[in-house]
Chains A and B, each alone.
Chain A
Amino acid sequence: MFAEYSFEEIKSILIMQSFGGLSLLCIYVLMGLGLYVVFGQMGVINMAHAEFLVIGSYTMCLASKFVVDHMPTFINHYLWIAIPLSFGVAFLVGWIVEWLLISRLYKRPLDTLLATWGLSLIMQQCFRTFIGAREMSATLPDWLMGSWAPTDTIDIPINGLVILATTIILTTGLVIFTRKTRWGLRMRSTSQNRDMSQALGINTKVTDRFTFALACGISGIGGAFLTTVASTSPTAGTAYIVDAFLVLVLGGLGSLFGLVISAGFLALLSSILEFFMTGSMAKVWLYLIIFIVLAKFTKGLFSSKVRT
């Protein structure tokens, strides 16, 4: 089937396909990162996680709409404000949600599951009521939708490069933040031993609130970038939540390295499967293979070895 292509062209196709896979990996990481922080640092399973992605997407869409309507000359640059804004809005909502809901349920994991699921429905209804039921897309600057052609036959989409850069910055930033800053130390000590952290002067309630809000903010950034590959609607989150959980569970729950590897595994698997069959059939096979992997490695591929 490759007979009509030259060697040079096959090489280019390979490079572009690999880059496509890498972009998909990044999207999986962006979808799973916030979930990972909340689960890994706090042991909370946030069923409303995907709605925080959607908050980021909506922030992006509304920011672009505002720019198009009121200051069209700014269209090429508004991203640099819309992305921090997506973080900020999701962070703020996360802060409030932790304060009103999550903080009251820490010792009751099943109730938390139910409550955050209810929260996801409430958030979806809020999107519908306050923003509208119709699908929405962000008007993205032309430069972002363009492509970069290092040779005649290779075409690398710019948005893929931006997503790649964002993913790298976010994950390494998160690692540096948790390892090197006082907030990071507070987060880690609180997740390991809440009582002892308090007995050393840490306000664990504020730490929890900050951790949850930070995870939501990260999801907000992820959501902002999802607008470059998908449109946004009140129920857009339902399409993300399964994938986000897959990445997390497959990665061994609570290991960032595992998260990235499992995102890569998922991206590779779904690219291969989608090459051979229709999208929905590919999803079926994808889930099937993952169930088999999980049955074999009950703790995911990369569970942390050191335990308290």
Chain B
Amino acid sequence: MLTISNLKAGYGESSVIKDLSFTLKENEILGVMGRNGMGKTTLFKSLIGLLPAFGGEISLDGEDITSYATYKRVYSGLAYVPQGRMIFPNLTVTENIKIGLEKTKAKKVPDYIYDIFPVLKEMGHRKGGNLSGGQQQQLAIARALVTEPKVLLLDEPTEGIQPSIIKEIAQILKQIRDMKGISILVAEQVLSFSLDACDRFVVIESGDFIHEADRADVDPDKIKSLLAV
């Protein structure tokens, strides 16, 4: 679904992602595990186009999107939930979701969004900035989902969220994948969440994947040791 070949990305002089290739399969939830500063966010930003790639190729469902501006990548089928969620604090919850409707040009927020995230319906008129972290995370996912993506990019959705809600988010991701038939790439540090949600795991270190495992043959202790500082 999403194929990355020889991707190089970074900031100015410093290159973070040096030469990365991988494929996100159809209907798959792939967890990118890695410690702080290992390049997860850099990878995601270059996938969505907020950080121009130095080289390599990104292809989405057969379409080469490497040179596309960020908003065009959204039209091609990428959606992005950034680390820190980036809710528009001065806009209401409903307005935040409606920005995601830019692509489909729908007037109304589709009902299934409120089926998955009932809290967003209750809080529709509140300012985005006044939601709790967990509610903001749901809003950020909803907002990305209404762009009707083929691939959803989620950067550390569990950051700063309590364990019971983390479990809920894992369920929601699987529910979304099954319902919409999309693929999800999720950056994570919380191993229990990834074990809950993901079909496949990679460990990123200094911008490169150093370990890969399927759900069937994953060795949690091995990943834990790779994530330990």
Contact = CB atoms under 8 A, between A and B. Distances in A.
Tier of interface size on chain A:
20 to 34
Contact of A199 (B70, B91, B129): B70
B71 A308 contact: no
Interface stretch (A56-64, A155-163, A200-208): A200-208
A238 interface: no
Interface stretch (A42-50, A190-198, A257-265, A278-286): A190-198
A198 B50 contact: yes
Contacts of A199: 48, 50, 70-71, 74, 80, 82
Contacts of B49: 198
A185 B129 contact: no
B171 interface: no
Contacts of B147: 200-201
Interface residues of B, number: 27
Nearest to B75: A201
A185 B95 CA distance: 8
Contact of B89 (A197, A200, A201, A306): A306
A101 B187 CA distance: 39
B127 A198 contact: no
B102 to A, nearest CB: 4
Given A199-B80, A202-B71, A306-B129, A192 B88 contact: yes
Majority secondary structure of chain A interface residues (helix, strand, loop or mixed): helix
B103 to A, nearest CB: 4
- Most chain B CB neighbours (cut-off 10 Å) among A189, A197, A201, A308: A201
Interface string A279-308: 000000000000000000000000000111
B8 interface: no
Interface string B44-56: 0000111000000
A298 B106 CA distance: 43
B53 to A, nearest CB: 16
Given A201-B75, A204-B71, A196 B91 contact: no
B161 interface: no
Contact of B74 (A189, A193, A201, A308): A201
A182 B144 CA distance: 17
Contacts of B48: 199
Interface in A173-218: 182, 185-186, 188-189, 192-193, 195-204
Contacts of B100: 200-201
B71 A203 contact: yes
Contacts of A200: 74, 99-100, 102, 143-144, 147
A204 B72 CA distance: 11
A305 B48 CA distance: 32
B80 to A, nearest CB: 4
- Most chain A CB neighbours (cut-off 10 Å) among B82, B88, B127: B88
Contacts of B80: 199
A189 B75 contact: no
- Most chain B CB neighbours (cut-off 10 Å) among A192, A200, A203: A200
Contacts of A195: 50, 70, 86
A222 to B, nearest CB: 27
Interface in B45-79: 48-50, 69-71, 74-75
Nearest to B45: A195
Interface string B118-151: 0000000001010000000000000110010000
B98 interface: yes
Contact of B99 (A197, A307, A308): A197
Contacts of A185: 91, 95, 98-99
B88 A186 contact: no
Given A186-B102, A306-B127, A201 B90 contact: no
Contacts of A203: 69, 71
Interface in A236-273: none
A196 B69 CA distance: 13
Contacts of B105: 182
Given A192-B88, A196-B88, A200-B144, 6 more contacts: A198-B50, A198-B70, A200-B143, A204-B71, A306-B89, A306-B90
Interface of B: 48-50, 69-71, 74-75, 80, 82, 86, 88-91, 95, 98-100, 102-103, 105, 127, 129, 143-144, 147
27 contacts: A182-B102, A182-B105, A189-B99, A192-B88, A193-B86, A193-B88, A198-B49, A198-B69, A199-B50, A199-B74, A199-B82, A200-B74, A200-B100, A200-B143, A201-B71, A201-B74, A201-B103, A201-B147, A202-B71, A202-B99, A202-B102, A203-B69, A204-B71, A306-B127, A308-B89, A308-B90, A308-B129
The 6 lowest CB-CB distance pairs between A and B, nearest first, are A201-B74, A198-B70, A201-B102, A201-B103, A196-B86, A199-B80
